[in-house]
Amino acid sequence: MDLNEKIKILSDSAKYDVSCSSSGSSRKNKKGGIGNAAPSGICHSWTPDGRCISLLKILFTNYCIYDCKYCVNRSSNDIPRASFTTDELVNLIINFYRRNYIEGLFLSSAVCVSPDHTMELLLKSVKRLREEFNFNGYIHVKAIPGASNALIEETGKYVDRMSINIELPSDESLKLLAPQKTKESIIKPMGLIKSGIIQYQEEKLKFKNAPQFVPGGQSTQLIVGATKENDLKILKLSEYLYNSYKLKRVYYSAYVPVSNHPNLPAISRPPLLREHRLYQADWLLRFYGFSSDELLNEEHPNFDELLDPKSGWAIRNLDKFPVEINKADYYTLLRVPGIGVKSAQRIVQGRKVSMLDFSDLKKLGIVLKRAKYFITCKGKYFPQRSIPTNPVSIKSRLLLEDNIKTHENIEQLSFFTLFPDIMAAEGEL
């Protein structure tokens, strides 16, 4: 089979993995070598679905011994199959990299022959890239569930990021849709990588040249909408992963219908809006100091599709508002709907030299569309005929303002969801 055909098959199979971020690592180039990592990540192109291409995201092979129901590569699915040789793969990476098509490699694989056999193939590829080609660009490798500790640990020495996709957010769902995988086979390597990273970070403090281990951290992906878990359950799981496993990122992937198995929901389009709300909430956990309990509870276990999670929270907690722009501390500012990390930083910086009023805020680039219901400047509300102060009318106002541009908004959705980490820090909710 020629390389064109292989690329077609093996990229097609990899595309549902949404992670493409190349951030978080600052690996340096070596003398006479090629490549380095940019800590903030770089996008190299955008596909017609609006997603950024940063890493060459590809499978080593799509031959699979497993039969996970939600997956295009499941063994029972009748699709064309292909495998790279390591030679083909490493040459492809180097030649793409030299032409500045890509920021590095995101290598994943279906499970071919056995988990260990597959993991060995991945290890061999990244080892050759690093040692034979002196390649120092970004490498993200998927750890194969069920592979031996030794293989996973050794791979960790060569890569910038590792991930194990949980995909299904509960035990029952795993049993239902991926009966050959167990929770243990996923959780165990995660724990292993976590301790490797902790050890590396400790050694780094002591010796300057401590051997690297997954310096860009680990991540995972959850599929949204293939099973019946509600948003609360998903967000709780993410929170747990951030706190206990120190994950860098949890990605959410709206389930794209690829099969009509009876255990799968019959939907025609991926639930993009829901995915979008989860990403927004995820940001609130990571950068805004929110906890999942504040955003959702058993009574309201799902996000309002019409309203972003922060506005939803603010409306339920009106006793905490309005917030005075010239006095509130940074974290309080961050909790105001419409004020993101960048805006809050600007406010804190700008008010050092003078008290801010609403026209100053505009000059600072702060969007008041949402914020105006929740803030005062020098003790006064936004000068508009009537700023409502009760939850029901604030909500209807927010929705009204959104509706003016509903169509655009829906198209804008994946803007937030699929841009690499750099957007996350800048994204304004």
Partner 1 sequence: MLYYIYDGTFDGLLTAIYDSYYKKDFPEQIVPQDNFTDNFLINKVYIRTDEEKSKKVHDAILQKISRGAMANIMYAYLSEHENAGIFILEYLRFGFKVGKIIDSYLADDRVNNINKLVTKVAREKHLLAGIIRFRLLQNNIYYALIEPQYNTICLLGKHFAGRMSDQVFVIHDVKRSYGVFYDKTKWFMSDIEINKDIVLHEKEIFYQELWKRYFDGITIESRLNPKLQSNHMPKRYWKYLIEMN
Residues that bind ligand SF4 (CB under 6 A): 64, 66, 68, 71, 73-74, 110-111, 178
Residue type, 324: E
In whole angstroms, what is the distance from residue 79 CA to residue 72 CA?
A: 8
At residue 35, what is the residue type? Answer: G
Buried (b) or exposed (e) across 380-402, using 16+ Cβ within 10 A?
ebbeeeebeeeeeebbebbeeeb
Distance (Å, whole) CA 354 – CA 333:
17
The binder of 273, among ligand SF4, partner 1, none, by C-beta within 5 to 8 A per type, is none
342 binds partner 1 (CB under 8 A): no
7's contact among partner 1, ligand SF4, none, with CB below 5 to 8 A by partner kind, is partner 1
Task: Decide if residue 35 touches partner 1 (CB under 8 A).
Answer: yes
Query: Other C-beta atoms within 10 Å of 297: how many?
Result: 11
277 binds partner 1 (CB under 8 A): no
Q: Decide: 47 and 148 in contact? Cβ < 8 Å.
A: no
By CB under 8 A, is residue 260 in contact with partner 1?
no
Q: Is 352 in the site for partner 1 (CB under 8 A)?
A: yes
Buried/exposed 240-263: b ≥16 CB within 10 Å, e otherwise = ebbeebebbbbbbbbbbebeeeee
What is the rounded distance in angstroms from the CA atom of residue 131 to the CA atom of residue 138? Answer: 14
Cα(417)–Cα(283) distance, integer angstroms: 10
For residue 74, the partner it binds in ligand SF4, partner 1, none, with Cβ less than 5 to 8 A by kind, is: ligand SF4
From the list ligand SF4, partner 1, none, which binds 350 (C-beta under 5 to 8 Å, kind-based)? Answer: partner 1
Q: Exposed/middle/buried for 98, CB within 10 Å: 0-12, 13-18, 19+? A: exposed
Q: Which is nearer to partner 1, 113 or 410 (CB)?
A: 410
The correct pick among 210, 272, 306, 367 for binding partner 1 (CB under 8 A) is: 272
Provide, rounded to whole angstroms, the least separation between the CB of residue 66 and partner 1.
22
- Kindly report the number of other CB atoms within 10 A of residue 118's CB atom: 25
Do 84 and 10 contact (CB within 8 A), yes or no?
yes
Q: Measuring CA to CA, which residue among 148, 151, 181 is closest to residue 166?
A: 181
Distances (CA, A) of 390 to 93, 369, 371, 429: 57, 17, 15, 21
Provide the minimum distance between the beta carbon of 115 and ligand SF4 in the complex, in angstroms, as a whole number: 9
Span interacting with partner 1, options 24-32, 123-131, 216-224, 371-379, rule CB under 8 A: 24-32
Q: With respect to partner 1, which residue has the nearer C-beta, 289 or 365?
A: 365
Smallest gap from Cβ 284 to partner 1, in A, equals 23
What does the per-residue mask of binding to partner 1 show for 50-89, with x meaning CB under 8 A? Answer: xxxxx-xxx-------------------------------
Q: Does 407 engage in binding with partner 1 (CB under 8 A)?
A: no
Q: Copy the structure tokens of residue 1.
A: 């089979």
Total residues at interface with partner 1 (CB under 8 A): 64
Of the pair 122, 356, the CB lying nearest partner 1 is at 356
Least distance from C-beta 73 to ligand SF4, angstroms?
4
Q: Which of 1, 26, 85, 98 binds partner 1 (CB under 8 A)?
A: 98
Distance CA 74, CA 145 (A): 15
* Residue 385 interacting with partner 1 (CB under 8 A): no
Which of 65, 67, 96, 425 touches partner 1 by CB under 8 A? 96
Q: Give every CB contact of residue 236 below 8 A, 6+ residues apart in sequence.
A: 292
Binding partner of 341, given partner 1, ligand SF4, none, CB within 5-8 angstroms per partner class = none
Nearer to partner 1, 14 or 126 (CB): 14
Decide: is 425 part of the binding site for partner 1 (CB under 8 A): no
Site residues for partner 1 per CB under 8 A? 3-4, 7-12, 14-16, 29, 31-36, 38, 42-54, 56-58, 92, 95-96, 98-101, 103, 137, 256, 269-270, 272, 346, 349-350, 352-354, 356, 359-360, 363-364, 411-412, 414-415, 419
